[in-house]
Amino acid sequence: MSRWLADETPPRVGVSACLLGREVRHDGGHKRDSFLVDVLGPHVEWVPVCPEVELGMGVPRPPIRIEERAGELRLLEPRSGADQTRAMTRFAARRVRELERLGLCGYVLKKDSPSAASSRRRCSSACPPCLSKRRAGSPIRRCG
């Protein structure tokens, strides 16, 4: 039984930090969602997450995107070519374990964010990655 059903505490929900108004986006901005903050916020306990900032990429920072390289999906900074895939994979494995211990009831992710990629997210070369079949912390790979 979920923690919040058992003791009437508000559900604990992971959320992309920028949606709460935190200025963590690559350009130093946010994407505050008034419904999440003002309407839903009083009824849940938010657990903000920003993988790029938590990884130490800073704000502002170069934008990143998912690209196919040599048959694999990579998390790259387009201007410099810096590959953040390995660092993000290691970080994600650790962070997922931390979030699992918190007993989250769900997640609200920023649409089109490379670090919040979902099964509908497409890499820049337009291949349809099957990220929904990934195990937490596993490398991003192309469907085949």
pLDDT tens, residue by residue, 16-28: 999 999 999 999 9
Query: What count of other Cβ atoms lies within 10 Å of the Cβ of residue 21?
Result: 15
What are the φ/ψ torsions at residue 119 (nearest 5 degrees)? -65, -20
Element of type H or E holding 7: helix 3-7
* Averaged confidence pLDDT in the chain: 80
The whole-model pTM stands at 0.74
Contacts of 88 (CB under 8 A, 6+ apart): 51, 55, 75, 115
Q: Are 75 and 85 in contact (CB under 8 A)?
A: yes
- Distance separating alpha carbons of residues 31 and 16, to the nearest angstrom: 9
